[in-house]
Structure 1
Amino acid sequence: MNNNSFLFSAKGIYIAAFLSFNTIMYAQKAADISTISEKTLNSILEKNRTYSTQGKVADYIPELGKMDGKAIAFSVVEKNGRVVNVGDVHKKFTMQSISKIIALMIAVNEKGESGVFDKMGYFGTDKPFNHFSNLETTGKPLNPMMNAGAILTTSLISGEGEKPFLKILEMVRYITKDQTIDYSKSVYESEKSTGHRNRGMFYLMKNNGLISGNEDQLDNYFKQCSIELTAEDLAKIGYFFANQCVRFDGDAKYKNEEVAKLVESQMLIAGMYEFSGEYARTVGLPSKSGVGGGITVSVPGRMGIGVFSPALDQHGNSSAGYHMILDLVKQYGLSLF
């Protein structure tokens, strides 16, 4: 054996050993998840409950302003489908922007990735969720996680009238395995009557030729934001995308590794709006927040996390929710980085 062959062989052995070591370390790390219990989550919840007093319940949509700012819940769904819940786990709240990841999945399944992203970008942003961003310059939304991109995404789902909304609702019911989930008529009416900024985005995109329909399409967006669910439901949604669009009970009807990667990547770079960059540094997991106080989190290949606390920070994300996620991530080494 010459020197080059020896070096190549030695390098191969080293790489194999390195990969084997990392696999063992990952398995050990994943095994730690099984120790998550109600006691674990409750300890984290109680430690961070005070953050709910430092945030502010969204009141620019009047119905949302009626939420109990002290409500708080924490849920985890593991690889084996085991659910761990603490706090106000039966308290329902509206999905708001979390519905955007469901709409994105459906639109991409129907139109293909290029059929959606030819009309918008993959970009992150340093602007709030309802910013017009570059609609007046390039004419296209920055990404499907900001309101403009999400309104466009929903308009791309096929079907007349409220059919696109019903597809989103049915997908939420499927992922959570709960056919009783519905939308709040009062929140929908409140969003519709005050959603002038969203209406402006809709007509700008219509003027730019990205949207061809009427305000029924915008109504579908208001309705999807008004879908009501629980922290456990959010954990199941997080689990779904973390596991290649396979449901928590193993149902693989919609299994699609590429769609899951697409949705998770958008969650990672834009799911927490202008806080997404800092969130990626501190939490390091694909997540999507909503101004209803919920956050869904995907731990790729491993678990889903759902939190709820309606008191929001300056970015429009749940204040207590963020800190609960951060503590769990640190305690169990869940960050991707």
Structure 2
Amino acid sequence: MKNNSFLFSAKGICTAAFLSLNTIVYAQKTADISTISEKTLNTILEKNRAYYTQGKVADYIPELGKMDAKAIAFSVVDKNGKIFNTGDVSKKFTMQSISKIISLMVAVNEKGEAHIFDKMGYFGSDKPFNHFSNLETTGKPLNPMMNAGAILTTSLISGDGEKPFLKILDMVRYITKNQTIEYNKSVYESEKATGHRNRGMFYIMKNSGLISGNEDQLDNYFKQCSIELTAEDLAKIGYFFANQCVRFDGDAAYKNTDMAKLVESQMLTAGMYEFSGEYSRTVGLPSKSGVGGGITVSVPGKIGIGVFSPSLDQHGNSLAGYHMILDLAKQYGLSIF
């Protein structure tokens, strides 16, 4: 009995020691989020700067192909609304698909979630962002983050002509508190001239009765994708949805916990295109990318992150941007899982 008691005691001591060691190791791996600084961001940026050489700037829209592949920026808005920037933070680029989370918010605010999602799904996808998916079978887009769903979402915003686009632009300006934000007319014209796949999706949905208007509605989608901003603006957008739709300066005019949950869940499910599943495993944060090279990230209840590097991987996501986010998430234990 004495030997057994000793054995159990030894096991208990070993187990306790193992758990304590694990706790120490875990504590060493993750830093206090309040210690984030521009120096932190700059260290991560420089570590990942060279990833641009492994990707390619989007050129299927000719104007996007003119972006400087070496440009890179990293921004964080902390829990208190303080902004940290490093890199080419004054460099402007177009939102592209990141605008989809804003149009979703505007449409749901106007029509309600049930009305919008009666016409599309909450599904993820293993297909690229511009895939027709099941449009020709069920007639409904898989989700509002793929092009088809985003085109439909924008068409559901009330107003004639460019009014739906102006509502999206105004919301971007409000969230970022940046009234100078405009859309890039050259990129818009380039998108319109080459957007034949998007036009095809528009007319399939028009044929199935999901869309009733004319190509003005598609033009609004091209314009919203052409809205220009900076990595700092993206960090502010990430902060907004991370904090129940409260702006980084505390303005709570649009505070809506349910809206934040809807948008963040779509970002997590489909925000990184067909890479979303793997991204959830590695980064574990609601994020939305755009082929302009930007990614906005929400750390629920905490911070917003914005990155920019126009050299993209095969999925259409910023390569250096992804790795900067990954390093920050690991260093500070930011994953929601």
Q: Same fold (TM over 0.5)?
A: yes
**Per-residue CA shift, 1:294-328, capped at 9, x if unaligned?**
00000000000000000000000000000000000
- Offset of residue 30 of structure 1: 11
> 2:31 touches 2:331 (CA, 8 Å); kept in 1?
no
**Residue number in structure 1 paired with 2:150:** 150
Asked whether 1:314 is paired with 2:314, we answer yes
Give 1:222's aligned amino acid: F
Q: Aligned residue for 1:123?
A: 123
Identity %: 88
8 A Cα contact 1:235 1:297, kept in partner: yes
Partner of 2:32, secondary structure, is: helix
Match of 1:108 in 2: 108
Quote the Cα distance in structure 1 between the aligned partners of 2:183 and 2:106. Answer: 18
Query: What is the root-mean-square deviation in Å for CA atoms of aligned residues?
Result: 1.0
Contact kept, 8 Å, 2:31 with 2:332, in 1: the verdict is no
Partner of 1:202: 202
Equivalent residue for 1:228? 228
Give the equivalent residue in structure 1 for 2:56.
56
Instruction: Note the C-alpha offset of 1:169.
Output: 0.2
Matches within 5 A, 1:77-96: 77-96=77-96
What letter matches 1:241 in structure 2?
Answer: F
C-alpha separation between the residues in 2 aligned to 1:146 and 1:295? 15
1:306 is paired with a residue of what secondary structure? Answer: strand
Q: Secondary structure at the match of 1:295?
A: strand
Counterpart-to-counterpart distance in 1, 2:300 and 2:158: 29
Deviation at 1:207, TM superposition (A): 0.2
Q: Counterpart amino acid of 1:137?
A: T
Corresponding residue number in structure 2 for 1:69: 69
One-letter amino acid of the structure 1 residue matched with residue 134 of structure 2: N
Query: 5+ unaligned residues in a row in structure 2: which ranges?
Result: 1-28
1:30-89 CA distances to partner (integer Å, 9 max, x unpaired)?
A: 991111111100000000001011110000000000000000000000111100000000
Alignment of 1:1-337 (within 5 A): 32-337=32-337
Give a deviation string over 1:220-268, Cα, whole Å, max 9, x none: 0000000000000000000000001000000000000001100000000
CA distance in 2, matches of 1:30, 1:221: 41
CA–CA distance in 2 between the matches of 1:273 and 1:66?
A: 23
Taking the aligned partners of 2:307 and 2:275, their CA distance within structure 1 comes to 17
TM-score, with length taken from structure 2: 0.91
Whole-angstrom distance in 1 between the partners of 2:309 and 2:39: 19
For the residues of structure 2 that align with 1:53 and 1:93, how far apart are their CA atoms?
19
The 8 Å contact of residues 289 and 296 in structure 2, kept in 1 or not, is answered as yes
**Structure 1, gaps ≥5 residues long:** 1-28
User: 2: CA distance between counterparts of 1:259 and 1:327?
Assistant: 28
For 1:14-42, what per-residue CA distance to the aligned partner results, in whole angstroms no more than 9, with x for missing partners?
xxxxxxxxxxxxxxx99911111111000
CA deviation string 1:118-142 (max 9, x = no partner): 0000000000000000000000000
User: For 1:198, what is the secondary structure of its paired residue?
Assistant: helix
Instruction: Give the match's secondary structure for 1:103.
Output: helix
Three-state SS of the structure 2 residue aligned to 1:275 is helix
- Quick check: 1:30–1:302 contact (8 Å CA) kept in 2? no
Larger Rg: 2
Q: Deviations over 1:195-220 (max 9, x none)?
A: 00000000000000000000000000
3-state DSSP of counterpart to 1:152: helix
Distance across 2 between alignment mates of 1:136 and 1:101: 25
Amino acid at match of 2:273: Y
Confirm or deny: 8 A CA contact 2:245 2:260 kept in the other structure. Answer: yes
